[in-house]
Amino acid sequence: MAREPLVGRSVPRVEDERLLRGNGRYVDDIAPAGCLEAAFLRSPHAHARIKAIDVSLARLMPGVHAIFTGADLHGQVEPMVFQIAKIVPPPVRESTGAWSRVHPMAALPTERATWVGQPLAVVIADDRYRAEDALELIELELEPLPAVVDPLDALAPGAPLLEPEWESNLALHYRFSNGDVDAVFDSAAVVVEEQFRSHRHIASPIETRGVVAQPDPYDGRLLVWSSTQTPHQLRDFLAGALRRSPETLHVRAPDVGGGFGPKGAIYPEELVISYVASALNTPVKWIEDRSEHFLATTHGREQVHTIALAADADGRFLALRDQITHNCGAFNILGLVVPYNSLTHLVGMYAIPAVDVEMRAVVTNTGVTAPYRGAGRPEAVFAMERIVDRVARRLGIDPGELRERNAIPPSALPYETGMIYRDGTRQVYDSGDYPELLRQARRLVSDEDWEARAGAGREVGIGYAAYVEGTGVGPFESASAQVIAGARVRVAVGSASQGQGHRTTLGQIAADALGVPLEAIEVVGGDTNAIATGFGTLASRSLVVGGNAVAKACAELRAQVVEAAAGLGFEVGADDPLPLGPMAALTPFNPGRPAGAPAVLRAQAEYYPGPVTYAAGVHAAVVAVDPRTGEVEILRYAIAHDCGRAVNPQIADGQVIGGTMQGIGGALFEELVYDDEGQLRTASFMDYLLPTASEMPEFRTAHVDVVSPLNPLGVKGLGEGGAIGPMAALANAVEGALAGHGVVVRSCPLTPDRVRALVRATEPPVPTAQETT
Amino acid sequence: MSEQLPIRLTVNGAELSAEVEPRLLLSDFIRHRAGLTGTHVGCEHGVCGACTVLVDGEPQRSCLVFAVQADGAEVETVEGLAAPGAELHALQQAFHEEHGMQCGFCTSGFLMTSAALLREHPHPSDAQLLDAISGNLCRCTGYQNIIRAVRSAEAKLAAQAGDGTPAAAPAGDADGA
């Protein structure tokens, strides 16, 4: 008797009720008895020599227990060395000459501060109020040094050096070259070159970061609660930096209030709080406030592309050249991850015979950058899709039509790009239907008279953004499944949720693989004691890598249960539901438990994916722009998407729409602005504007889901996809709307100010009084 | 060291009295003194709305109110929407059904803002609805399902009240197929 599979159904989320009743448990809800609270003193300068930090007065404040500076940590806490940033797989090095270098980050520096917001000291007090009082009394003597903020300036001769032992600020470099690009450029019918800037923004989950470290005198272990996407990585990192065995550390990520990438990084505050709690032998909590979040949680997206595209007279792309300058911020903490994603997602769904891309990633006196939803892809897609539109305009071809002419047809798949992916394997688009994605996106915006809807005085533009996304990167993910009391199965995963609904989707996968109802499954994660190892939730990989690990563990567990059930006289066919009766009978303390039955029914599996599997999408934005005010209204935002097999369509759509809305925020409203001295001028929600419900456009979606041939579940990642397209789609739409004015959109966000400035620059100058006389 | 002031207030119907520093935020009082951690703090400068609670029936950002200012007030938090073990409030049920939440961190604020809205306007216009919830930030959902959830709750509450008024059509339908 085959059962109706749960995979593919919009099962309501099992995690909701607890959260809806206010019974969620986020890090700030963890309150061990006697817990002290921490506040960090942060650098007010982007670059400064630390002359003295005098804490003597602050230490005398009532309620203050301790203050630690870098000097106090010296010899106790190893500087943070981001090993992952050094990784260059040999095939990547061979094909691009890639190299990456890293300088260690002191958890609290003693010599120099290199960005505004870098932690310099920590106060531990009875509560946060008193800790912040004491911050005011710390005397900080800093000698300001010249700072460098802009990534292009960082490469100029004589630029201030972030790391004096380096001869330049270049932290990472690669160059990929395929075909005779110069020759093609010399002979092509049309060549368009532009410089586009992807501006800096921040993920800004509504829950900021937080850490609670709690020493256990019973066994000497340290329990660290952190709002992290990667508890196992944090455990191992802390073990190295604190010089203790990972086995003495227990890291838990409870409910996490949004991640989007930044919570996958490892931070000095996590290290400092863990050390301080051990040193004081008492629980210590630090909860980041929002202004700290803007300064000290990783940023993303800042790249400058000098890009050129050559095409023939029919608009067929012949060659692409791009020089990318990427801003790492003050430290190169993740190496190739973001900069290399920009290479392997630049060309996207087009066939281009000759490609030449150079990457220069630099360190500057700004906040550290790291993956933010899309992680190098939105930046590359912005540059590529903008230059595609510039070519379309030059040739007088409709931008949608031009994209269809150049899209790789399904018959050419699997398609080898000639590049090596970040995991060291050859880049191959495994599955998808790019022309159909384009057709669907175009269809979704073709059913209305937009000029009429926009009304008089406003110009209408339609902009597209097409992209592919490698998803489900390795190296592995782990899962275990165990029969527990009550005829239930506990599934433990290495990739926990920050809102993605893994308890539901991974539960659906587990229930199908086992042949039991969803109610019989309990998914746990975010806990290094729940499962020995795990990689974490990032890079659109949980469903692909974690999901297949769950399916594998549960299939193995099913086999064990079937065998045990046979011993009890239950015959279970291959397609039969798993009978819960024998499972209950097999629990250890059941008095009726048959002699000789296995004491534990448990399966553990690691899933090692092969090359990534390709999701894809085409966004189409329709905007009305008022050239007199610069105001942009999105009349409709359409998304055609390929996410492979959707495990839970409602959750899948939630990811796509949510990601798209984040992208829209970046395209229209959000920007982290540093001044020339490296002061962040947008460190509150009053200055950094997140979109609200009032900014939500009318959405239309279409699925062109092609099941992945690369993994047993046929799934593709979809956490990041929505955020990849909006910057490009909206910039293209706004430029299209203002085509009559001849504007070129070279960066976002497209605030009324910026749009108005673009229009004004094309208008004849208003004669001044002097000129008219 | 600091002066402590006595306050008395009700939180979800329970009377509480405490001695607090004048600078203690209502959000911190609710979370750390009353132990009701369903109210979340997202920005502490009154923009994100995650900490929204009802003070004498009005939605307030509890991070912008001192606990002493709530002396004598009736405060309602997300924990008061449905008693433990009791059925979910119509809004909670609707947020579940419509997938109007992902990480759940902003959800309490949206629930309390929407609860106040639907008490005052059982059938709000689209403009009233957007106006009410635009003071709350959500970074996960893109808002579409939150709006659907509030509309669905509107219908549920009307049905519970035996109110024959038909609910307005949901806004922003995204079915493009």
> Who's near A75: CB < 8 A, 6+ residues apart?
none
Contacts of A21 in chain B (CB under 8 A): 38, 78-79, 81-82, 84, 88, 92
- Which of B105, B136, B143 to mutate to probe the A interface, most A CBs <10 Å? B105
Same-domain status, A279 and A309:
no
Q: What is the pLDDT of residue A773?
A: 44
- Residue A182 to residue A191: CA distance in whole angstroms: 11
- Residue A384 to residue A388: CA distance in whole angstroms: 6
pLDDT tier, B143 (very low <50, low <70, confident <90, very high otherwise): very high
Among the candidates A241, A272, A296, a domain finishes at: A296
Q: Are residues A20 and B111, on separate chains, in Cβ contact within 8 Å?
A: yes
Q: Scan for tokens 């003495």, then name that residue.
A: A248
Q: What is the mean pLDDT of residues B43-61?
A: 97
Q: Say which CATH number the domain at A431 has.
A: 3.30.365.10
Does any domain span residue A187?
no
Minimum distance, in Å, between the CA of residue A114 and any CA atom of chain B: 26
Does any domain span residue A171?
no
Same-domain status, A288 and A330:
no
Q: How crowded is the C-beta side of A637, counted as CA atoms within 13 Å?
A: 32
Same-domain status, A616 and A728:
yes
Minimum distance, in Å, between the CA of residue B8 and any CA atom of chain A: 22
Among the candidates A607, A634, A669, a domain finishes at: A607
Same-domain status, A279 and A307:
no
Q: What is the pLDDT of residue A586?
A: 75
Same-domain status, A653 and A673:
yes
Minimum distance, in Å, between the CA of residue A349 and any CA atom of chain B: 23
Domain count within chain A: 3
Minimum distance, in Å, between the CA of residue B63 and any CA atom of chain A: 12
Task: Find, in chain A, the residue whose alpha carbon is nearest to that of B78.
Answer: A22
Same-domain status, A429 and A505:
no
* Length of chain B counted residue by residue: 177
- Residue A292 to residue A328: CA distance in whole angstroms: 19
Answer yes or no: are the C-beta atoms of A87 and A160 closer than 8 Å: no
Contacts of A696 in chain B (CB under 8 A): 142-144, 147, 172
Amino acid letter, A65: H
Question: How many A×B Cβ pairs under 8 Å?
Answer: 190
Q: How far is CA B143 from CA A23, A63, A728, in A?
A: 22, 43, 22
Among A257, A662, A690, select the one facing B105 at the smallest CB separation. Answer: A257
Q: Are residues B82 and A21, on separate chains, in Cβ contact within 8 Å?
A: yes
Residue B152, pLDDT > 50, answer yes
Same-domain status, A522 and A414:
no
Among B24, B45, B50, select the one facing A206 at the smallest CB separation. Answer: B50
Does any domain span residue A488?
yes
Q: What is the pLDDT of residue B175?
A: 38
- Residue A29 to residue A254: CA distance in whole angstroms: 10
Task: Find, in chain B, the residue whose alpha carbon is nearest to that of A441.
Answer: B176
User: What are A593's strand-pairing partners?
Assistant: none
Contacts of A256 in chain B (CB under 8 A): 103
Same-domain status, A568 and A662:
no
CA-wise closest residue to B151 among B174, B130, B176, B171: B171
pLDDT tier, B94 (very low <50, low <70, confident <90, very high otherwise): very high
- Residue A536 to residue A406: CA distance in whole angstroms: 36
* Domain limits for position A478: 16-23+474-607
Q: Are residues B40 and A686, on separate chains, in Cβ contact within 8 Å?
A: no
Same-domain status, A322 and A394:
yes
CA-wise closest residue to A415 among A348, A319, A316, A318: A348
Q: Are residues B176 and A701, on separate chains, in Cβ contact within 8 Å?
A: yes
CA-wise closest residue to A354 among A330, A380, A322: A322
Minimum distance, in Å, between the CA of residue B15 and any CA atom of chain A: 20
Among B105, B111, B172, select the one facing A206 at the smallest CB separation. Answer: B105
Same-domain status, A367 and A390:
yes
- Which of A206, A619, A699 to mutate to probe the B interface, most B CBs <10 Å? A206
Q: Are residues A28 and B140, on separate chains, in Cβ contact within 8 Å?
A: no
Q: What is the pLDDT of residue A496?
A: 81
Among the candidates A569, A590, A607, a domain finishes at: A607
Does any domain span residue A231?
yes
Mean pLDDT of residues grouped by 10 in chain A (773 residues)? 83 96 97 97 98 98 98 94 91 97 96 98 98 98 98 97 96 97 97 98 98 95 96 95 96 95 95 98 98 98 98 98 98 96 98 97 98 96 98 97 98 97 96 98 97 96 97 89 90 88 95 95 92 79 90 95 85 85 76 79 92 96 98 98 95 96 98 98 97 97 96 93 97 97 97 97 75 49
pTM of the model: 0.95
| ipTM given for this complex | 0.95
pLDDT tier, B50 (very low <50, low <70, confident <90, very high otherwise): very high
The domains located in chain B, with CATH, are 5-79 (3.10.20.30), 90-160 (1.10.150.120)
Amino acid letter, A423: D
Task: Find, in chain B, the residue whose alpha carbon is nearest to that of A687.
Answer: B47
Same-domain status, A719 and A743:
yes
Amino acid letter, A670: E
Count of CB atoms situated within 10 Å of the CB of A42: 19
Q: Are residues A258 and B176, on separate chains, in Cβ contact within 8 Å?
A: no
Does any domain span residue A266?
yes
Does any domain span residue A417?
yes
Does any domain span residue A175?
no
Minimum distance, in Å, between the CA of residue A450 and any CA atom of chain B: 17
Contacts of B143 in chain A (CB under 8 A): 661, 692-693, 696
Minimum distance, in Å, between the CA of residue B30 and any CA atom of chain A: 12
Q: Say which CATH number the domain at A244 has.
A: 3.90.1170.50
Over the range A412-427, which residues count as b (16 or more CB within 10 Å of their CB) and which as e?
Answer: ebebebebbbbbbeeb
Contacts of A650 in chain B (CB under 8 A): 99
Q: Are residues A22 and B39, on separate chains, in Cβ contact within 8 Å?
A: yes
> Who's near A79: CB < 8 A, 6+ residues apart?
A104, A105, A106, A107, A241
Q: How crowded is the C-beta side of A765, counted as CA atoms within 13 Å?
A: 5
Task: Find, in chain B, the residue whose alpha carbon is nearest to that of A255.
Answer: B103
> Who's near A456: CB < 8 A, 6+ residues apart?
none
Minimum distance, in Å, between the CA of residue B58 and any CA atom of chain A: 19
Q: Are residues A129 and B23, on separate chains, in Cβ contact within 8 Å?
A: yes
CA-wise closest residue to A540 among A705, A670, A722: A722
Q: Are residues A208 and B42, on separate chains, in Cβ contact within 8 Å?
A: yes
Answer yes or no: are the C-beta atoms of A275 and A259 closer than 8 Å: no
Same-domain status, A478 and A461:
no
Residue B92, pLDDT > 80, answer yes
Helix boundaries (H) for A21-76: 56-59, 70-73
- Residue B18 to residue A359: CA distance in whole angstroms: 60
Q: Are residues B143 and A692, on separate chains, in Cβ contact within 8 Å?
A: yes
Does any domain span residue A233?
yes
